[in-house]
Structure 1
Amino acid sequence: MKNNLITLILSIPLILISIGSFAQRGDQLGTPEERATRQTARMKEALKLSPEQETSVADINLKYAKQMQSVMETGGRNLKTARAAKSIMKSKDKELKEVLDKDQFNQYLTIKEEMMSKLKERRRQRS
């Protein structure tokens, strides 16, 4: 009984630190609406979206930013979370393929791949 109480008391600071670090990271990324707006603006410029495409892309970006937010809030760094994020991105790409023309979509995939490579490189540098 005494050991359980000591373990509980020692665990509380660790839990609070973990929650605090996630909250800080979440603040840096912004709300789903802010992330979707930034992403749409970048896509508008890079892909030369028409006004109709911009509206559709903005809706898609918001929809999936909200889905990704729930994954970020509920999951940690584990295989289940990674699979959920990958599934969301796959669905998003499928919807974007219907809105963008072939050249725009190929350019989108190229930009996405470049961003993933940069992210992997940053992770390697931290290790």
Structure 2
Amino acid sequence: MALPARMVGRLSPKPRRCRLILSLVAGLAIVPACVAGGMEASTPEQRAALQTRYMKEHLALDEAQTARVQAINLDYARQMEPVLKGSEGGLARMSKGRSLMSAKDTALKPVLSPQQYEAYEASKDDLKAWLEDQLR
């Protein structure tokens, strides 16, 4: 059975809904994983210092980059504090957490070289696991 010409190239509502659900489910893991991993008990200063240390070691940051990355990490760690310790439901926390992480990525991009930023993007899961291990 062929699709009408007006339907060719369009997604049916079912695949769109599936993608939305998968995105939400994947996102729900972010904030609860941070809470369960010990990040809730840490201070923004501790999280920022650990993130900066990891990035300096793994991205070969110079001193000027390290100072700027530290300031960015601290700023966003402080903004993330109410999200981590808040009492809102999972979806609201996930949305705020993702929004902050996206803004942080945007702030880091001009500080890092293209190669460093690519390595940063590729190592986000490793960074999260490393932070959780350091905060236990």
Give the aligned CA root-mean-square deviation in angstroms: 2.3
Q: SS where residue 89 of structure 1 aligns?
A: helix
1:35 aligns with 2:44: no
Post-superposition CA distance 1:82-118 (Å, at most 9, x none): 00000000000000001001000000000014556x6
Percent identity of equivalent pairs: 36
Query: Greater helix share, 1 or 2?
Result: 1
**Residue number in structure 2 paired with 1:61:** 73
**Residue number in structure 2 paired with 1:9:** none
- Number of aligned positions between the proteins: 94
Normalised TM-score (structure 2): 0.62
Q: 1:26 to 1:114 in 2, by over 3 A?
A: closer
Counterpart CA distance in 1 for 2:113 and 2:66 is: 13
User: Deviating runs (4+, > 6 A) in structure 1?
Assistant: none
Question: Is the 2:51–2:127 contact (alpha carbons within 8 Å) kept by the matching residues of 1?
Answer: no
1:71 aligns with 2:83: yes
Post-superposition CA distance 1:17-63 (Å, at most 9, x none): xxxx99x7632xx1100110011000000000010000000000000
Q: Which amino acid aligns with 2:106?
A: K
Question: Is the 2:52–2:70 contact (alpha carbons within 8 Å) kept by the matching residues of 1?
Answer: yes
